[in-house]
Amino acid sequence: MSDFEENVIDGVVEEIIFENDDTCYRVFTVNCEGILYTVVATCPPVYAGETVTASGEWKEHSAYGRQFVCTEIEKTFPSELSGMLRFLASGAVKGMGPATAQKIVDTFKEDSFYIIENEPDRLTQIRGISREKARIMSDSFRTTLGIRDIMMQLNEYSISPNMAVRIYKRFGGFSVDVINREPYRLWEEIEDFTFAAADKIALENGFEPDCEMRVCYFIRFVLTHNLTNGHSFLPYDKLSQISAANIGIETSDTECYIDKMIAEGRLYEQKIGDLRAVYLPEMYFAEKYVVKKLYNISKYVKKEITDIEKHIDALEKMLNITYADNQRAAIRMSVENKVMVLTGGPGTGKTTTLNGIIKLYENLGFNVTLCAPTGRAAKRMSDVCKREAKTIHRLLEVDMARDNTFVKNESNPLKTDAVIVDEMSMVDIRLFEALMHALPDHVRLIMVGDADQLPSVGPGNVFCDIIRSEKIETVFLNEVFRQASQSKIIINAHMINRGEHPDLSNSSDFFFVKKLSADSVTDAVCTLISERIPKRYGKDVLNGLQVIIPTKKTQVGTQAVNAMLREIVNGPSPSKTEVTVKNRSYRVGDKVMQTKNNYDIVCRRKNGTYESGVFNGDIGIIERIDLKQRIMSVAYDDRSAAYEFADCDQLELAYAVTVHKSQGSEFDIVLLVLSQITPLLQYRNLLYTAVTRAKQVLIIVGNDKVLYNMVDNSKKSNRYSGLRHMLTTFSEYEDDAQ
């Protein structure tokens, strides 16, 4: 090899110098009969201790010297004890460090691999290895074993190792067969696998562009994609036209396929006014079930409670309070009705009224359960109600053993007399359906929120649909109380909600900083974050202060501002571990937000107990990055979550967040940036939602003309949802409800 002529090397992988799982680029050393060579390859993961046969050519790198640039590689697992030990100690097996690897090899010798794969219970002979730990290690080893073979086959489709792991975990040994025969299942069943990627594989494998499988999956894709836009269904005509235009076939052909899918139960159709609404089955049944359940609860025969006014009088005396007329009406209706909505803007006494309802229920002997859609909303509910409040997900208990369904359901309902849900505007139809499944018919249900805020990020328009149906008793709190009326934040919030231009003069809790250019906006934000706000209020973006921006992709959008604030607040340091995953950089100390529900991530609560699941909108701080174990720990308000690197792409920087992502949260100080906002985002309830996130101080930086445009635009995003229509035909569900 000294002559640079050999194009094949054989040896044992000694050390991994560098690897990027997104690009599959790797640099490692290979021990060839005692001589170490540096190998550069684009390939599936390699591990210390593996035997490799690499084909390629020798090159002289200007900075790194002589390297073997690999074009093809074959790998075999080590069979000698030393190689087995190095492989097991390399981090290739989850939960196994060098010390554990040494104990296993010392105990089982050449049978170590066989024992781990086929007889993991025998590992419990070794002190410190529990049955659960043995299972985890065995599963990881078998996954690595399977992935090793299958990755080589998947590599030709340009599928990244991280994605290959997900595919293998779902389909196992059938992975390649699925890819070849039904590639669209990758999009449907593998998280983050795009339809475009599945479609590319299908077309490369010879699928005809107008074949039935492709057309039907695309129709499902269009409906699924529009769930992210808040639509529970699409009109028949719109669905057929969009599908035909994108596939390149006649509309009449897509209509035939839609009709066939409806006839076969793969889609469902509902007549809503003049619309032919086409649903995915799960969306159709979600809306139907919610209506039926609301009917069942509202019509359930309950023990009549008399002398309600006397109970409220006693409550006032006990709490030394006098309720306003509409507050008193709300408390009375919460007893007279099984299902009720309580809505109102800031300063209208929702919290006071809610606490009155809770206390009266407790006086009547009711077991009361409080919940909210997000962790921050639940924490705020706990703080203002002085009682435990849980997220809806935590209340329902995620069942890890049954594909992330909920433990609480119709067969195992919640043991409670009353459920109060705060921030109802954030609850989408799927989450609400799950909650409905867990409610016994005798329960009382109180839904609380601000109907003028943005609707849920997920599909449906549940809160507004329920209110507008006029089938559920609703109390509107619209009187701003004296103390609240002294807050400029609350005054301006209500002005905005009424379509009036707010007063932009500065006060003790409201400030407007007029800046017209993008550069002047970013300069102002930097100064406020780094100097003025911490000096005056003792708050920073890691503690009590939140930057909120309507848009992502401009010079003053969340992406650019996050990068800027990160360098100010948490700049690079030798003491702060960093890692790049899927082109995103993460650093210890970073403020991050979870961007989707993940029921698999294990969290350790402050009391030492464990639970599963982190959810869209959770904000935390990266507290530890373990490069060897490929684990990142994020500290949330009440728990710490351990992320495998493969899941880190679900986290994004949160020094600045969008208005939509801020829903359900309140912050002591909000810095709202209004500049370079696309006209599509310049509407009233988005501004109203942003303004009402501030508890103590609101600082707006930007263009007053943009602000006024938002106030003047009362148009709300139109969502296709059938819940209101179904609720207006309440009586039709009576037979089903019996």
Q: What is the pLDDT of residues 589-602, one digit of tens each?
A: 999 999 887 877 88
pLDDT at 256: 96
Digit-coded pLDDT (tens) for 408-430: 999 999 999 999 999 999 999 99
Between CA 72 and CA 215 the distance in angstroms is 37
If you write DSSP's letter for every residue of 385-441 in order, what string do you get?
A: HTS-EEEHHHHH-EEGGGTTEES-BTTB----SEEEES-GGG--HHHHHHHHHT--T
pLDDT at 148: 66
pLDDT at 64: 74
Average pLDDT, the chain: 89
Is the predicted pLDDT of residue 283 greater than 70, yes or no?
Answer: yes
pLDDT at 152: 64
In b/e form, how buried is each residue of 373-383, taking b as 16+ CB within 10 angstroms?
Answer: bbbbbbbbbbe
Which amino acid type is present at position 652? Answer: E
Q: What angle do CA 431, 432, 435 make, to 5 degrees?
A: 90
pLDDT at 1: 43
Between CA 86 and CA 47 the distance in angstroms is 9
Q: What angle do CA 230, 233, 235 make, to 5 degrees?
A: 120
Q: Where is average pLDDT lowest: 155-164, 237-246, 301-310, 593-602?
A: 155-164
Is the predicted pLDDT of residue 466 greater than 50, yes or no?
Answer: yes
Provide the 3-class DSSP secondary structure of residue 683.
coil
Is the predicted pLDDT of residue 495 greater than 90, yes or no?
Answer: yes
pLDDT at 699: 97
Banded pLDDT at 737 (limits 50, 70, 90): very low
Long-range contacts of 570-578 (CB under 8 A, 24+ apart): 577/624, 577/625, 577/627, 578/625
Is the predicted pLDDT of residue 612 greater than 90, yes or no?
Answer: no
Can you tell me the mean pLDDT for 223-238? 95
Of 95 and 342, the one with more pLDDT: 342
Q: How many CB atoms lie within 10 A of CB 482?
A: 8
pLDDT at 253: 94
Of 125 and 64, the one with more pLDDT: 125
The percentage of residues in the chain with a pLDDT greater than 70, rounded to a whole number, is 94
Is the predicted pLDDT of residue 3 greater than 60, yes or no?
Answer: no
Between CA 90 and CA 106 the distance in angstroms is 17
Digit-coded pLDDT (tens) for 231-255: 999 999 999 999 999 999 999 999 9
Output DSSP code: residue 207: -
pLDDT at 21: 66
Which amino acid type is present at position 422? Answer: D
Digit-coded pLDDT (tens) for 356-375: 999 999 999 999 999 999 88
Task: Please give the model's pTM, rounded to 2 decimal places.
Answer: 0.80
